[in-house]
Chains A and B, each alone.
Chain A
Amino acid sequence: DAGVTQSPTHLIKTRGQQVTLRCSPKSGHDTVSWYQQALGQGPQFIFQYYEEEERQRGNFPDRFSGHQFPNYSSELNVNALLLGDSALYLCASSSPWTSGTYEQYFGPGTRLTVT
């Protein structure tokens, strides 16, 4: 079992550009949550996808959008990048609604640097 995988591991972008980050959940999990962790701070919840729909959303602007595919993998898209978007983006998978499993498995994260 590969666990949760994320790609790419590191990314450097310029202000105003757009970026897409990818996450594959642990086998058997159907729910993907995305978190942003700025340097020295705790993770902040961005949104959660289940059954290809955004189920919950944190306090993030519409520049942050996502998608979930039929195979449960997910993408996080950020448009019009700002310097403040520089952070570690974490993906977590779980299966709370179908199996009642609240166990969270985290990917290694994608380190995004906006210059």
Chain B
Amino acid sequence: KNEVEQSPQNLTAQEGEFITINCSYSVGISALHWLQQHPGGGIVSLFMLSSGKKKHGRLIATINIQEKHSSLHITASHPRDSAVYICAVWDYQLIWGAGTKLIIKP
């Protein structure tokens, strides 16, 4: 069993839809990261969470430490949101989930 599991692996939605990506982890962590990777490779850190909820623009990330679960939400999705979204937990190194490939169709 992977230490960090994401679902779904692939997600295709129409522009404007509300998107949810889930992440469950089995290790003790200091922080959880949501990262975005566009084709071509560059990785951008979207959020770092150790508790509660964070919001940035149309992106919202939540974490439930007791349940070892986090979600990334995208409201009013747009084709430019198409990317791979990765959940990674920090235990003095990043332990990565497999990523969710998101495609938003116009």
Interface stretch among A17-25, A64-72, A101-109?
Answer: A101-109
Instruction: Judge if A33 is at the interface, Cβ distance under 8 Å.
Output: yes
Contact B45–A105 (Cβ < 8 Å): yes
CB interface residues, A 70-115, toward B, < 8 Å: 88, 90, 92, 96, 102-106, 108-109, 111
Identify A56's interface contact among B30, B41, B93, CB under 8 A. Answer: B93
Residues of B within 8 Å of A, CB-based: how many? 22
Contact B48–A90 (Cβ < 8 Å): no
Q: Mark B76-106, 1 if CB is under 8 A from A, else 0.
A: 0000000000101010111111110000000
Contact A106–B48 (Cβ < 8 Å): no
Question: Contact residues of A with B, CB < 8 Å?
Answer: 33, 35, 37, 42-45, 48, 55-56, 58, 88, 90, 92, 96, 102-106, 108-109, 111
